[in-house]
Each structure stands twice: as C-alpha cells, then as structure tokens.
Chains A and B, each alone.
Chain A
Amino acid sequence: MFLDSDLLMSALRALTPILLAALGGALCERAGVFNIGLEGMMLLGCFTSVATSWFTGSPWLGVLAAALAAAAYSLILAVGAVTLRGDAVVLGIAMNLLAVGLTSFLLRTVFGVQGTFDDPTLAGLPLVGGFTPLAYLAWAAVAVAALLLSRHVWGLRLRGVGEAPDAAATLGVSPAKYKYGAVLVSGVLCGLAGAQLALGNVTLFSENMTAGRGWIAVVAVMLGRAAPLGVLLAALLFGLAEAAGFRLQGVGLPQQATDAAPYVVTLAALFLSTARRRRRRTPTSGVAA
C-alpha cells in the first residue's frame, strides 16, 4: 500500500512550517514587498523557541518569543525596503545569511555547544490528534488570510498598496503603514513556522535546521500566485512530493532520484500553470505587457 494514512500524516507534518512561512511571504507579496528573508526569520524562530522553552520550561512561551523575535528581525526588511527604499532582494539575502551566523554564534554562547542542542528534558509542543496546535493554526490562518484579502477593507487596501501605491496614497491610504504591517505579520508567521519546526516536527535546535524550507516557501508564494489558497495547494504539493519521495526509496529508487521529487513536481506545476495562463491570454496578445 503506497498511499496510506502514514504518508498523509508525514506530508502534513512537512507542510506546516512551509505553509506558515509561505502565508507570510504571500501577504508581503500582495503589499508589494518581495520577501525572500523567510528562511532567516524562520531559523531565528527555531533558535528563539528552543532557547525560551529551555530556560522557562514552557513551549508556549517559546512560541511567543519566536514570533516576537522574528517580527523584530523582520524590521530589517521593513525599515530597509519601505522607509529607506532599499532592494528587498538584497535585504532578504542578507537576513538569511545573518540568521545562520547569528544562531550558530548564539548556540555557542548560550548553550556552549556546537552543531546541535538537544536535551531529553527540552519541552516540545503537545500533540492534538497527531499534530501540534500550530498546525491547526496554520490552516486557520489560510482561511483568515483569504477572507481578509478578498473581503475586508484592510485586505483591499493592502492589495491596493501593492498594485498601485501612488493611487492608494492619493486616496489617503498610507502605503508605508500597510507594507510595515505585512512585513511584521510575515515575521510573526515565520517565527511560528520556526517554532513548529524546532518544537513540533522535532524537539531540538541544530545549525541551519531550516534546511531550505524558507526557500521552498518563497517558491510556494510564486507558484500559488500569492493567494492564500494557491499557497496552500503549492505547499501541500511540496509536502506530498517529499513524503512520497521517502517512500520511493522504499521501493528501491536511489536517493538521488527521490531527492529530486519535490523539484520535479514544482517544475511541472510551474510549467503547466504558465502554459495554461498563456493559452488563456493568446486571443488578446499582440500588446506586450
């Protein structure tokens, strides 16, 4: 039996951190801030959640601290890209690099270890029905974000700010305020994603433990066209492809081939979605965008 509940559970566990980070990325995208610092904010969230849970004994304080720390960290992007009008891509990369160095440094100074901090008494998040409460929160956040963007005045203004900041400004909507809001919320969501990874998926911190999940979240934002439901589907696709990749090793496929599964699926999805879009656009073509 290839498709069973274990596979689904494994896919959903892989999905949660990516989904949380990607939702944050999608909000930024809609507000016109291209956020590729998801990986770094997530990694900072991992460390903060583990450190706080360790010193206070409460994983919930760890979650809270992770959200706050990552939100504070996201200010680098907010101030740099919105107030100072710097390049968001450069800032995002800088944040990712800084986070790797910063967390490795803190791991050595705070815990005096290198590589991995792991202790049997480190308190992780409780499981409800096989998942952490953060996993349910991630699903709820998809619905909230979808409703907010399509129905609520904040969402409409956020989209307005992203699509036509000048027009929004003439209508009395402050683009800076909405962009700041979107970046800070993405920080909170990435902090939660990090806490989910370090106190939910596993209960430990190791250097660079996000291992590219933030980048996958960036791709999920692009693939899902920055729409919450689209992002959910893209993240689900990744989760399933990864979990299926593990299984494919079981039937004798080499690891190097199964590793490629999520990326092959992404390429295929990207290709299909653009091909369809282009076909739809063909009748009115002739005017370059």
Chain B
Amino acid sequence: MHRRHRRALRLAAATAILATAATACNAAAKNDTSASGKSGSGTSFTLVTPDAVGQNEFLKLAVTGIKEAAKAHDGTQKVYESTDTASQQQNVQAAVEAKPDVIVLVGFEFADLVAQQAKAHPKQRFLMIDACTTKTFANVGCAVFREHEGVYLAGAEAGLLSKSGKVGAVDVLDTPQFRRYSDPFAAGAEQVAAKTQTATRFVGGQSPFDDSARAKEQANSLLAKGTDQLMAAAAAGNYGVFEAAKAKGAFAYGVDVNQCPSAPGTVVDNVIKRTDVAVQKGIDAVLGGKAGTTVSYGLKEGGISLTGLEAGVDSSQCVIARHKDVLEKVKALRDQIVAGKLKVDDPAAS
C-alpha cells in the first residue's frame, strides 16, 4: 500500500501541472452564430468575436460598431460569436468562405489565424481590432488603442482627488503592454500634483486574470501604505480591487467599460475603449484602400475616453460626476493631448 501510494504521489505531481494547464481551455464548445441584418445590395461585413458577446460590454460595442457600419454603407452584417479556441478557428473559416467585403476580428486571439488566412486569400480584406498580425499583410488593416492616454487622464483625476498624496495601480502582469495601465496613471497624477507618491502592484500568480482574491490582497497592500486612489487594471480582479477600496473608504478607477455600477461611490471613473468607433472608422479605412496599415485610436480619434468625458456621465453612477471642477481640468489636459502639445509616454513603445 505504502509503495503504491508513493507512486501515486509522483504521478499526481506530474498530473497536477498538466491539469492546471488543461483547465485553461474550457471545452464547452458552442458555436453561436447569430446572423442578423436585412439583405441590402451594398457591402457586407462579418464580425468574429473571441468570446460570447453576452454581457461583455467591450464586445457589445463592437457589435454596435458593425451595425452602424452596415447602416452607413447600406450593407449587411453578420456576427459570429466564438466560445473557445476551436470555435474561433471554425468561425474564421466560415467567415472567409462566405466572402464578405470586410471580416472584422476583435482580439489578439486572432492574430495567427488572420495571418494564415490573409496569405491564403489575398483578395479577402480583414480588419483586426485591438491587435495586429506580427507581419504586415496588404489585405489586413489593424486598429489598436492608445490606452495610455486615457490612463494618464485617470491618473490626473486621481492626483487631483487624492487626500493622502499617494496613488497606486493594481495591474495584471508586469509586461510593457500591461504597464500602459500603471505607468501613465502615475505620470498623470504627478502632472497635476508633483509631490504625489506612486506605486504599482502586479497580480501575477497562477491565473492573474481570474484571481480576484489575490488582486484584492495586492490592493490591500497598497491601501495599508495610505494609498487612497487605485487604478484597477486586473481583469476579473478589478472587482476585488473595488471591494478593497470600498472597505477602506478609498477610490478606484475601472477600465474598458463603465464599471461604476459594480461599486457606486467607490469607482471614480473608467478608461473606456470605444470599440464601436474603431470598428466603424477601421472599416472606412479598409474600404478606402488603406488595408495594410495600422491605425491607432486614442483621445484624438475618440477611440479612448473616460466615462466622465462622455455623454451620460450624470447617470453613470461614477464618483467623478460630483466633481465637475476636476473634470474641467481633465478636459483641458485632454485638449492638450489631442492638440499634440502634451505627449503621454507609451510603456509599450518599442
């Protein structure tokens, strides 16, 4: 028995590693292809999403974008929703076979798939949103975001609102791309209040995007040092950061969509990505013969914004709605960035 047991332990140690890797791919294959749109005679667009759209605000905006684009071009649109890696592949294949004028794909998950298909079908035009292929293809247009500009403005709000003079960010991982959510936050705060102390914690761990308990502890370690404004860029961990901030009476800043309703009175503002703007303008660019180029969307193009700077701020449940004076100063900063008078450093710039 003892011997068998020993063997079991060793086997388990090996399988433990395997299993943690395997759990990442959740095999709930559900090929959700919802098609809508009237049969117009104009151009046709297909949107392929990396996940089910559901309540995902980021993808919902992409759907809005493709519908608006179809309307503007008097054309038709289809949305293929993926649920996992396998269905992403199937959907891209199905989209290519249907030969629409432009295939729009959201997310880095599609980079390799698009590279393959773009090579095999040089006449098919593609538009990638929020990512790009490593190699440039003449038939692939890319739309990427300058998140750092929005994060900088959120940092400015934090600097103006901080009472302790300490602001911090809880970020997912320590990579140049994710540092776009932490470094500019510090820079923005220092811009408006030079003496601000800044700090960043990275969630890390075995599943940095899912681990809200870990993100909450990282936030706690910043709050314990007197930080009272927290940039939350921890994916699902954001909710953990909000909980930590709420418990200490501190404030937090969300990303991608309006996260204020999940902790009213705690979330000050959000750096939002207007996927709809990127989809619409991207389609125009690709149709206008500008495939093969990467266009970046920031404050100037309306691709990046703050909830506080958009219409509907008063009903957003965001704390910033009560601080019109702060918003005025932030608007002035935005105008400077838009006019090119103020440059925000990009941590991901190569």
Interface flags for B133-164 (1: CB within 8 Å of A; 0: not) read: 00000000000000000000000000000000
Q: Could you tell me the distance in whole angstroms from the C-beta of B210 to the nearest C-beta in chain A?
A: 5
Residue in B16, B56, B211, B217 whose beta carbon sits within 8 Å of that of A36 in the complex: B16
CB–CB A116/B2 < 8 A? no
**In the complex, A118→B11 CA distance in Å?**
38
**In the complex, A204→B262 CA distance in Å?**
11
CB–CB A289/B54 < 8 A? no
Interface flags for B1-17 (1: CB within 8 Å of A; 0: not) read: 11101001101100110
CB–CB B54/A108 < 8 A? yes
Q: Is B20's beta carbon under 8 Å from chain A?
A: yes
CB–CB B216/A113 < 8 A? no
**In the complex, A278→B168 CA distance in Å?**
48
With known contacts A118-B262, A215-B16, A246-B218, A206–B239 Cβ distance under 8 A: yes
Contacts of A165 in B (CB 8 A): 1
Among the listed stretches A52-60, A93-101, A132-140, A177-185, which one makes contact with chain B, having 4 or more residues with CB under 8 Å of it? A93-101
CB–CB A215/B224 < 8 A? no
Contacts of B19 in A (CB 8 A): 93, 96-97, 215
Q: Is A202's beta carbon under 8 Å from chain B?
A: yes
Question: Which residues of chain A from 59 to 77 have any CB-CB distance to chain B below 8 Å in the complex?
Answer: none
Residue in A32, A104, A249 whose beta carbon sits within 8 Å of that of B201 in the complex: A249
CB–CB B206/A211 < 8 A? yes
CB–CB B20/A215 < 8 A? yes
CB–CB B236/A112 < 8 A? no
Instruction: Report the interface size class on chain B.
Output: 35 or more
Contacts of A116 in B (CB 8 A): 212, 236, 239
Total contacts A to B, CB within 8 angstroms?
Answer: 143
Interface of A is mostly: helix
Q: Is A255's beta carbon under 8 Å from chain B?
A: yes
CB–CB B12/A212 < 8 A? no
CB–CB A100/B1 < 8 A? no
Question: Which residues of chain A from 229 to 275 have any CB-CB distance to chain B below 8 Å in the complex?
Answer: 242-243, 246-247, 249-250, 254-256, 258-259
Q: Is B90's beta carbon under 8 Å from chain A?
A: no
Question: Which residues of chain A from 100 to 121 have any CB-CB distance to chain B below 8 Å in the complex?
Answer: 100-101, 104-105, 108, 112-116, 118-120
Q: Is B343's beta carbon under 8 Å from chain A?
A: no
**In the complex, A106→B221 CA distance in Å?**
33
Contacts of A250 in B (CB 8 A): 199, 201, 221, 225
| Number of A interface residues in the complex (CB < 8 A) | 55
Q: Is A209's beta carbon under 8 Å from chain B?
A: yes
Q: Is A48's beta carbon under 8 Å from chain B?
A: no
Q: Is B23's beta carbon under 8 Å from chain A?
A: yes
CB–CB A118/B239 < 8 A? yes
CB–CB B236/A89 < 8 A? no
CB–CB B16/A218 < 8 A? yes
**In the complex, A92→B8 CA distance in Å?**
12
With known contacts A101-B28, A202-B216, A120–B263 Cβ distance under 8 A: yes
Contacts of A23 in B (CB 8 A): none
CB–CB A108/B52 < 8 A? yes
Contacts of A256 in B (CB 8 A): 174, 204
Select from chain A the residue with minimum beta-carbon distance to B171: A255
Q: Is B35's beta carbon under 8 Å from chain A?
A: no
Contacts of B218 in A (CB 8 A): 246, 249
Contacts of B210 in A (CB 8 A): 206-209, 211
**In the complex, A89→B52 CA distance in Å?**
33
Contacts of B27 in A (CB 8 A): 101
Residue in B2, B55, B243, B262 whose beta carbon sits within 8 Å of that of A289 in the complex: B2
Listed from nearest, the 6 A-B pairs whose CB atoms lie closest are: A212-B206, A255-B202, A211-B211, A255-B174, A206-B236, A201-B213
Contacts A204-B243, A212-B20, A250-B199 supplied; 20 other A-B pairs, CB < 8 Å: A6-B220, A32-B5, A36-B12, A89-B12, A97-B19, A104-B28, A113-B54, A116-B236, A118-B262, A164-B1, A201-B216, A202-B240, A206-B236, A207-B210, A242-B217, A243-B221, A246-B221, A249-B202, A255-B174, A255-B204
21 residue pairs bridging A and B, Cβ less than 8 Å apart: A10-B221, A34-B5, A89-B12, A89-B15, A93-B15, A93-B22, A116-B236, A120-B264, A202-B239, A207-B210, A209-B210, A211-B205, A212-B20, A212-B206, A218-B16, A242-B217, A243-B217, A254-B174, A256-B174, A256-B204, A259-B204
User: Which residues on B are within 8 Å of A, measured CB to CB?
Assistant: 1-3, 5, 8-9, 11-12, 15-16, 18-20, 22-23, 26-28, 51-52, 54-56, 173-174, 199-202, 204-207, 210-214, 216-218, 220-221, 224-225, 236, 239-240, 243, 261-264
